[in-house]
């Protein structure tokens, strides 16, 4: 029975460590995820095709033609001025590459809208064009659009990098890793120890952190919520085209476990 608990404890502790260090180590294949997103967007034709055609039309700087492709309900008196500003960001050259970077389908006020985000690579800039398509409107399918320009691709801008960061970055990262290892070791001891009172209760407490501090690795921005919780106490979040987020909580359950370790493992304790 003791060997079985040690095996289970080792497996669960390693799973806790690997599940988070896998994200931190960058072994998540972001390019493979990007290809999967492209395949998902392939199911949204003709909306994706309409979005690309609309951006190509804007590149011609033919404002009346652009206006003709937009539902009049979403055009205001400043439309011509808005288009002049868009033309400043949108080159007329053919893009080197067009990469879908996101989509969303929503029903609003009884109407279906498809939001398609496309990244365009040009010779001197990257453009992210978000086009809102209203499939129910055959002749005027575009309900809105947004264009932003960048000096690097979204993939490069959101990539996780260790070099060139501030002391604050390294300190919080180190604290999160130490916290994670501390919880994993505590979890193993709690499971593998021969006598632990309320073993399963303590397992749950060890995996739960109190309070929540989130740190945006890309922006260096921190947020704190004292009345929240985190499972596990150290967690890393890295999604496609999103910066690494460090989520760190106080491992109160693990700390209390060690503070009460001797009492919890008394020989006369109930076996669980």
pLDDT of the residue at 28: 58
Predicted model pTM: 0.72
Most confident of 13-27, 36-50, 226-240: 226-240
C-alpha 127/C-alpha 148 separation (Å) is 6
Within-domain flag for 121: yes
pLDDT at 235 over 60: yes
Q: Return mean pLDDT, the chain.
A: 85
Q: What is the mean pLDDT of residues 60-72?
A: 89
Within-domain flag for 99: yes
pLDDT at 245 over 50: yes
Cβ–Cβ under 8 Å, residues 61 and 271: no
- Closest C-alpha to 52, from 111, 87, 82, 94: 94
Within-domain flag for 246: yes
Kindly state whether residues 167 and 81 are assigned to the same domain.
no
**Considering the chain, what percentage of its residues have pLDDT values greater than 90?**
38
User: Which pair of tokens denotes residue 99?
Assistant: 């990469």
CA separation, residue 10 to residues 13, 21, 117, 188, 193 (Å) = 5, 16, 44, 6, 12
Within-domain flag for 36: no
pLDDT band at 269; cut points 50, 70, 90: very low
C-alpha 81/C-alpha 154 separation (Å) is 28
pLDDT band at 140; cut points 50, 70, 90: low
Tell me which residue range forms the domain holding 13.
1-29+160-265
Within-domain flag for 64: yes
pLDDT at 31 over 80: no
User: Could you say which of 98, 125, 158 is where a domain stops?
Assistant: 158
Within-domain flag for 127: yes
For 19, what's the count of Cα atoms within 13 Å in the CB-facing half-sphere? 12
Most confident of 16-25, 218-227, 229-238, 250-259: 250-259
pLDDT of the residue at 137: 59
Q: What is the pLDDT of residues 82-120, one digit of tens each?
A: 999 999 889 989 999 998 888 888 887 777 888 999 999
C-alpha 81/C-alpha 66 separation (Å) is 13
Query: What's the first-to-final CA gap in the chain, in angstroms?
Result: 11
Within-domain flag for 270: no
pLDDT at 270 over 60: no
Q: What is the CATH number of the domain that holds 148?
A: 3.10.450.590
Strand order in the sheet with 245-250: 221-230, 209-216, 245-250, 234-237
pLDDT of the residue at 55: 93
Poorest-pLDDT segment among 194-203, 234-243, 263-272 = 263-272
pLDDT at 20 over 80: yes
More confident position, 266 or 105: 105
pLDDT at 272 over 50: no
Within-domain flag for 8: yes
Q: Which residues, at least 6 apart from 31, have a Cβ–Cβ distance to it below 8 Å?
A: 155
pLDDT at 149 over 70: yes
Q: What is the mean pLDDT of residues 155-176?
A: 88
């Amino acid at each position: 029975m003791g060997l079985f608990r040690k095996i289970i404890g080792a497996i669960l502790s390693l799973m806790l460590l690997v599940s988070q260090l896998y994200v931190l180590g960058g072994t998540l294949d972001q390019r493979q995820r990007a290809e999967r997103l492209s395949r998902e967007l392939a199911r949204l034709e003709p909306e994706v095709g309409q979005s690309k055609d609309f951006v190509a039309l804007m590149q011609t700087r033919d404002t009346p033609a652009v206006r003709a492709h937009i539902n009049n309900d979403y055009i205001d008196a400043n439309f011509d001025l808005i288009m002049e500003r868009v033309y400043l960001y949108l080159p007329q050259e053919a893009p080197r590459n067009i990469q879908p970077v996101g989509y969303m389908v929503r029903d609003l006020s009884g109407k279906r809208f498809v939001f398609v985000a496309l990244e365009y690579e040009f010779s001197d800039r990257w453009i992210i064009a978000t086009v809102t398509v209203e499939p129910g409107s055959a002749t005027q399918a575009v309900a809105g659009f947004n264009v932003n320009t960048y000096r690097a691709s979204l993939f490069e801008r959101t990539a996780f990098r260790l070099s060139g960061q501030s002391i604050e970055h390294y300190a919080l990262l180190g604290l999160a890793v130490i916290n994670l290892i501390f919880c994993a070791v505590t979890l193993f001891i709690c499971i593998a120890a021969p006598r632990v009172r309320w073993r399963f209760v303590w397992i749950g407490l060890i995996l739960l952190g109190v309070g929540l501090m989130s740190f945006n690795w890309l922006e260096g921005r921190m947020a704190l919520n004292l009345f929240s919780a985190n499972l596990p106490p150290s967690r890393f979040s890295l999604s496609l085209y999103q910066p690494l987020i460090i989520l760190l909580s106080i491992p109160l359950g693990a700390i209390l476990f060690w503070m009460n370790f001797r009492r919890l493992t008394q020989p006369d304790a109930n076996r669980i």
